[in-house]
Chains A and B, each alone.
Chain A
């Protein structure tokens, strides 16, 4: 089956574009950059077709990576139905976004068209690592991909590296991710200690026999890693800042693929979690809390990309709820549909920004429906999908999660439904402020985006609308995950839909019918509004409690105290000591011959005494 080709094709694209892209024309960069991903997608299709009805995992072993006594780690790739779903999402959406980038990044020109080849090289590198992550057959190879996508995220967020806020955001993403990775590493150590191996098949088959306490600990630590990568409380702070990167990056990495790695990893580890119910409970609680929390922040944001960023955090929370209540396939289902409509929302906002030559503030948009109609209609598909309008893709997946949540704990259902309403509201708000009403900005040449950008938008629009009943993901994944009872309740379904429609309605009221209402409402609840608008000051709190003490401690204790005070003093002290000893010895060199003679006589007297003692002692 040659599974290794799937990640290697984008990696080859990275190498070629990275090393030689500087000298290529744009067309040649495109051939390698996009061609490699499209080829990978084609190979994925071929592999899936070749594997047929996969009921157990198909593994390919490549080489033994680590061999230490009884502990072995191999470089293996394995494919089961879950992997197939992920592969299709990653390569499919990845290809669409690569095609979109041709148009979006076309202006990155310079003597050697500047960052154009660099962008595609990094993007290809990201695809490589993501595919390694998805195909991995043990935790360590997964971790390689995990770290690699973190690296590419950093590189791509800080793509416009001459701008400080971009590089700061890249640093923030990487550092916060690192905290999560620390948890992941600890989890891996515990797995090795408890199971003696990191291989998925071996770990999962033995999970039943391990004490629940150990499994809970492992599960919680894995969750720390997932919280970092998938932007859950408390490690979500990097995702909104990551919008500093180019929009295709936000779409691919921070909506469709990288941030879902945490969900994927958690779903993959379901044998561990089903035997550690407390860990699952924690995951579900974190998920629903994040979903609600992020949705409220999204209400008040004015940057179009930030709105969708908080929306991503919120939707990821939904996925974790699905996984946390035991309905693993619903979490993955939402992952797939979210990839469709969230990528579309981001790409669409990229088209809007492109049309307005860089404007991102919602307050400066308006009335664009007539000027960029195609963008509007495709984004509208995503809008209805995320709002949970019946029969769209988002409706099916969100509904499945909410129902599963109700079975587990009704309060989660209610909180999730309220959040759905808020979600519908803020996305509608963004849509209305952008496309309806009067244009409030200054731009004169508002033009539709080129076809190369429109095509992916169209495809994603169709998928957002129809993807729900085209791809019956839970049924597809039923052989992978433990069986969940089929549950349908019309009342609950209608209630959640109702909340969603109410959200849209309220947005129509506030932003279309009576535009002034928004401002007056904001003025009336100024305190609360300020709190939400400033994202509950979480970043500031982190800065004060974690960052500043750490930096201050480093500076005072580690730098001044230890490095300068101890180590430097030690090193310099040796120098000073040598110099001082030399200074003392120098006094012998008086230049006076008689004193030299005196010292000689002194020495010879000592010698005589010594010899006498030696001989005397011998006698």
Chain B
């Protein structure tokens, strides 16, 4: 019954050359083009999110002073260049929303999921190329809608990216109605895109691996994207459900989260974080995956403990489902629950430690090439360590009493999402840029960008730990209102200046990205001397990737294998023997 599978259609790559520009580059079903489309879209998202952060930093560093150039903002946002509190709340909300949903998540999942999965498992394309195209073109209106929200009556959603009810559920209390509804609708639409994408990734990885590409021959990038896709598939619909209930509370009079009519504010938090914590791992697991690929490459050694790396990814993916309550230790949730959530949360340190030590183990006795992607990967490891360790403080229910909802948490999340994910993204973009565009990014400017980013990044976010320890609350519009925060204002100014510099040096990356596209050095066949299947086809690969499906003979990281002269053994190379 099930053996009726007809040959799988691949969107007709035979006539790829005959396709019009629109079919090839706009409404393309080619996973590589879709990956690049996601890359451009989410880099714009990153720019939007970063710009919002600059406005936030101005206000925190120099509260209620007119912002230079702020006069161009409309009266409803910043009359005379001074940010309004309601606009500030919208900024805080949208910085989080854009960075999480329209920058980091699509950068990791949309870009590298699409671009790498078929190329690394030896498939001609995704299992469902047209669905893949749909998934991108559903994300675009969601993005546009979220931007439009800034300009509607009442301003954009201002209840934080977590949109805690009932502030978010009743316009009477926030002054925002349409903006919050747009937030809900946009995320439901984006969720559909993510779910379709996840379905596609999972099917592709299960069913379309090339001959010989066993589960335990998958590169860790693919393993992590696979687990991420599973998390996306199961977590995003929960957010959709929550957002729909919130939307109904605002529009058709339901009372899910409105306590005067029996609704429960904590229900929102439980649902949101039941989605939200797996989401956190959606934002870090693919970064861990690509970093593993890059570190093995940079160290010229097989990854240390490949199997435990895989099991650690699976363990993190699983534990992600049973820790959501650690966001709610001070919420009034039953304190006994706090105990169990604390233990499960602390246990996540174990697979995280395994991964960190295995990365170090990979470098141990390696022959380390510090190319630009490798530098970013090392930055990922060192910053992820800080983010992971600072997580132990808030995992402890007791210490969390003091640091919850302070800048300590803000420092933590940025060490994981910027220090972790974003450095991994910079590294991965540089690493696979030649595969995407057939040209290399400038090495010199890559080093410059890395050095300055690493410096200003730490100058921006490390002092936030100090703010948090001083009791500086999150999401406050004007810290100088509080006497006990006034000694910290110097730190706030310092952070603001560092943040501006951090933002400015990203221009180097943007220019390097754009200029290299046109004038970069032509990419050699295998610029990083890597072992992955993607380097066995031209750069950029044609529609359909390979003339014939490759056959895999080796595990993913056979660097310095004694079987061959050079220090890398491509996965498909039939070199004398099979590597077990």
A, B assembled together: no
- Residues of A whose CB lies within 8 Å of any CB of B are none
- Residues of B whose CB lies within 8 Å of any CB of A are none
